[in-house]
Amino acid sequence: MKVAVVGATGLVGTKMLQVLAERNFPVDELIPVASEKSIGKEVLFKGKAYKVVSADDAIAAKPNVAIFSAGGSSSLELAPRFAAAGITVIDNSSAWRMDPTKKLVVPEINASTLTAADKIIANPNCSTIQMVVALFPLHQRYRMKRIVVSTYQSVTGTGKKAVDQLMGEREKTVKGSSAEYPMAYKYPIDLNVIPQIDVFLDNGYTKEEMKMVNETKKIIGDDSIRVTATTVRIPVMGGHSESVNVEFAQDFDLAEVRSILEKAPGVMVVDDPANARYPMPKDAHERDEVFVGRIRRDESQPNTLNLWIVSDNLRKGAATNAVQIAEYLMGKGML
């Protein structure tokens, strides 16, 4: 089993290598790929050093699967070339998500739609993944009509530059450091909240917000679900959090809701208000589960539920979901 990781030196690419190792994915030969400036550098996988190669060299090596986390423009250019060589691509960028000819996959929900003919498979947005993992089992029982979601997203979702900005600002505030640090954001992020993720579109929403709207409908396979989102960057590492308000077509019993969530694949219920137990990013860090708490009825209108959903955005929100897709394909003999 030859596995290429494209974007192997980035935050998500590094996490993909870690998850492949942790889950004992059967990698007989690893082919790390990165941009031209990183060719020749080494990455570690299971204690062994591997030299980073070019995309051309990776295609020539004919891996069974290439897991991409190299950004949208790189994916648009390279994924078709890998696919044309018969290599299955699992792409973590936004490049292919809304392409009607490509599957957008969360294994707990729609892996069964995949076939051997699917050579470019899209990995959804991190915020969308954690939300639909928690909501889909409830949708199957009560049918969702409308979702209102506000996110509280980790700086790791932006990348290493944003982490360096946050830590640089913190050093300056706490220790009076004068060291230079990069600015990933237009504004300071430490001791601040930035209600903008990605660029603004003509409708006043950001690209990240519209990703959540459109991807949710595509993954669940129901365009009738109304979704509205506000996405916010906060000075946190460890995971994304979401306040979700969901209206169903029929009424529900809270005990049954909890039971459904407790049995749902990939979901961990942490909901004990009496003892102040609820999901937090620090508890989700380096975990693959989607944590759900603050489960309560919306008393302002019928058939509506409030939830708090937290997950490690670099793991289930990116790397783990991609590796799970590869595991599914392998298990079905499609790799």
Residues classed as catalytic: 126, 240
Q: How does DSSP assign 65-116, residue by residue?
A: EEEE-S-HHHHHHHHHHHHHTT-EEEE-SSTTTT-TTSEE--HHHHGGG--T
Residue with tokens 């993944």: 129
* Pairing between β-strand 48-51 and β-strand 120-122 as defined by DSSP bridges: unpaired
Question: Of 201, 187, 24, 216, which is closest to residue 124 (Cα–Cα)?
Answer: 216
Count the helix, strand and coil residues of the chain and give each as a percent rounded to the nearest 5. 35, 25, 40
Distance from C-alpha of 45 to C-alpha of 125, rounded to nearest angstrom: 26
Helices 207-220, 126-142: crossing angle, 10 deg rounding? 40
Instruction: Quickly count: other Cβ atoms within 10 Å of residue 49's Cβ.
Output: 10
Contact between residue 55 and residue 35 where contact means Cβ atoms under 8 Å apart? no
CA–chain centroid gap for 212, Å, is 11
Burial class (CB in 10 A: 0-12, 13-18, 19+), 198: middle
Residue 235 · residue 166 · CB < 8 Å: yes
Quote the DSSP letter at residue 317: I
Rounded Cα distance, 180 and 168, in Å: 7
CA–CA separation, 215 vs 208, rounded Å?
10
CB atoms within 10 A of CB 178: 7
Give the pair of three-digit tokens for residue 22: 């942790």
Q: Crossing angle for the helix pair 126-142 and 254-263, nearest 10 degrees?
A: 130
